[in-house]
Structure formats: structure tokens, C-alpha cells
Amino acid sequence: MSSRLRFDARVFGAFAIAVALHILGTWLIPGYSAPFAIRALLVLASLLAIASIGQTLVVIVGGIDLSIPFIIGFANVVAAQLYGGGMAFSLVCVIVALGAILIGLFNGAVSAGLGLHPLIVTLGTGTVVQGAVLLWTGGFPSGSAPPAVSAFVSIGGSTGPLPFPPLVPVFVLLAALVALVLARTPFGRRIYALGSNPRAAPLALIRPVAMWAAAFAVSAFFAAVTGVLLLGFTGSAYGAVGQPYLFQTIAAVVVGGTALVGGRGSYLGTVGGALVLTELNTLLIGLGLQPATVQAALGLVIIVLLSLYGREPAIRSTI
């Protein structure tokens, strides 16, 4: 009972810190709560939260995915290149999604099937994917996103009467769906069970390799979605556009209270974590800090936050 309360407290804590940071920002920086600034914040947080969907699943199942930034770059560049070459955008999306899913399936199946650490496997496949994309484009990708994608994520956009681009409400629905799938489907429950006790899982009719493959495929798919959305957001293709997401997805998941040892956590927490990171970044840049200093401060704040509520149990209490 107590652990459930503490668990909810972690999720609540992430949102509380996001709100506190926002209040601090509004107090310190003029215009921090201006409609445009809030829209920008929500768009950036939504993008990070979408990229972190898969990381949440992968971490709950007991793994970690370092290939996310590379797949974001892959989707970003390939989509632009194909669409720029005159292909129908729907077909482009199918190709990009299938490519990403195949990479994800490989990551999960190889890690679980051979008992390899996913850190190395995903780093290896990520490196290959990035190299292949660079080779294909010669390092200078071209092309752009269809206007519809740009409008979908544009900070200045609106959705009917809502003052946000469609990305924000669509993301809210998506987040609810992800939370529902994790909490109320056999797939979701098996993900938690496998992460909680990998040795007991096969005896409970859970297929570890299939589950890992599925979790990493989901991760790759949403990384690809993020890559395409980023194409609409920035307007042009850029292979390294995903790099900040390498550590940020992990940080969002952990700040949201999901334990890296597997079996515990929630997507709602990750959304809170994504908000915290976006608020922090915006706040620090708004205070006029240099990018290098922002980075250092971000690292420090992540450590402070986790030492407040992301602590692991002492070994004494795990016996």
C-alpha cells in the first residue's frame, strides 16, 4: 500500500515540479507565460513526450533504447528525401514506419534472444542506421515536409477554437491511449510482469523475446513519428536533429518515476518528466545562460531532482 502511494507521489511530484518551474519562470522572466511562449512549451514537451513513449515501455520491460536519436534522424531525413523526390506522403510514412519497426524488432529480439545488453545492441544499430542515412544523402539531405505536417506542429497554429496546433490535443489523446494500453491490455500487463521478474515470466506464459521485440518496435515507431514531426517543425531535414533526445528521453522517463530496473513506472509520469525538462530548458535559456551552462545546470538539476525522489531502495531492504 505504502509503495503505491509513494509511486503516485513520484508522478505527482513530476507535475508539481513542472508547475513550480513555470511559476518561477513567470516570476523571473517577463513574457514567460505569454500565449506564444506557452504554446511553444507545449509543442516542445509534446514532441519529447512522444519520443519518450517507447523509452517508457522499454525501460518498464527492463531495457534501455539508445537508438531513438538515430531513428529520429533516419525518419527525418528519409521522409524529406522521399517526399522531396515526389513520392506520395502517405507512402513515405508507411516506408519510414516499416523501416523503423524492423530496426526496433531487431533491437529487441537480439537483446532478449541472446541475452545481450540492449545498451550495446541499440548503440550498434543506431550507429549503422546513422551511417547508412549519411551515406545515402552524402551528408547533405534535401527535401521538406508537406505543409500539412508543418501546420500540424506549428507553434502559431490552432485547432478549431483551441489556441494550440493540432499536435497538442492529438498528443493528449495519444497519451491517454498509451496509458490505457499499459494499464488495461494483456500486452501492457505482460510488459510490467516481464520487467518485474524476467525469470517468472515464461512460467506465466509470457514470451520474453516477443515482448522485447514489440516494446523496441513501439519505441522505434514513435521515434520515427517524432522524426517526421520534427521535419514539419524545423522545415528542413537534418540528420542530427534527434541527438538531444538520446539523454532527454531517458531523463524524462526517470524524472517521471519509472525505475530503470524494470517493472515499475507509468507513461503519465513520463509526460510529467517531459514537461519538467522542457520547462527547465526554457527557463535556463530565458535566464540568458549560454548553451554550455544550460547543459551543466540541466545535469545538476536532474541529479538534485532524482536525489529528492528518484532514489533506489537500500540493498538491506531488498534482501
Chain residues 253-272 in contact with another protein, contact rule CB under 8 A: 254, 259-261, 263-264
Residue 125 as a binder of another protein (CB under 8 A): the answer is yes
When the beta carbons of 90 and 318 are compared against another protein, the nearer one is: 318
What's the closest the beta carbon of residue 246 comes to another protein, in angstroms? 9
Q: Which of 125, 83, 85 is nearest to 104 (CA)?
A: 125
Residue 142 as a binder of another protein (CB under 8 A): the answer is no
When the beta carbons of 162 and 303 are compared against another protein, the nearer one is: 303
Residue 173 as a binder of another protein (CB under 8 A): the answer is no
Exposed e or buried b per residue across 10-21, where buried means at least 16 C-beta atoms within 10 angstroms of its C-beta:
bbebbbebbeeb
What's the closest the beta carbon of residue 28 comes to another protein, in angstroms? 20
The CA–CA distances, whole Å, from 50 to 36, 125, 243, 290 equal: 21, 21, 15, 27
Distance CA 146, CA 17 (A): 37
Kindly tell me the number of DSSP H helices and DSSP E strands found in the chain.
12, 0
Please identify which residue in 190, 208, 221, 237 interacts with another protein, judged by CB under 8 A.
Answer: 190
Residue 134 as a binder of another protein (CB under 8 A): the answer is yes
- The answer to whether 273 touches 310, Cβ cutoff 8 Å, is no
Stretch that binds another protein, among 36-44, 95-103, 122-130, 161-169 (CB under 8 A): 122-130
Residue 205 as a binder of another protein (CB under 8 A): the answer is yes
What's the closest the beta carbon of residue 26 comes to another protein, in angstroms? 25
- The answer to whether 21 touches 280, Cβ cutoff 8 Å, is yes
When the beta carbons of 2 and 90 are compared against another protein, the nearer one is: 2
- The answer to whether 157 touches 164, Cβ cutoff 8 Å, is yes
Q: Which of 105, 78, 103, 106 is nearest to 92 (CA)?
A: 78
Residue 316 as a binder of another protein (CB under 8 A): the answer is yes
- How many whole angstroms from its chain centre is CA 188? 18
When the beta carbons of 127 and 158 are compared against another protein, the nearer one is: 127
**DSSP bridge partners of 162:** 159
What's the closest the beta carbon of residue 302 comes to another protein, in angstroms? 5
Please tell me the count of residues contacting another protein according to CB under 8 A: 78
Residue 203 as a binder of another protein (CB under 8 A): the answer is yes
Please identify which residue in 206, 213, 214, 280 interacts with another protein, judged by CB under 8 A.
Answer: 206
Residues numbered 83 to 112 that lie near another protein (CB under 8 A) are 110
Distance CA 263, CA 246 (A): 22
Residue 162: strand, helix, or coil: strand
Stretch that binds another protein, among 27-35, 181-189, 213-221, 267-275 (CB under 8 A): 181-189
The CA–CA distances, whole Å, from 95 to 98, 197, 241 equal: 5, 36, 20
What's the closest the beta carbon of residue 236 comes to another protein, in angstroms? 20
Q: 159 φ, ψ to 5°?
A: -120, 100
Please identify which residue in 83, 171, 192, 267 interacts with another protein, judged by CB under 8 A.
Answer: 192
Please identify which residue in 71, 186, 242, 278 interacts with another protein, judged by CB under 8 A.
Answer: 186
Distance CA 277, CA 306 (A): 13
Task: Tell me the per-residue interface mask from 282 to 311 with another protein, x by CB under 8 A, - otherwise.
Answer: --------xxxxxxxxxxx-xx--xx--xx
Query: Which DSSP symbol is given to 154?
Result: -
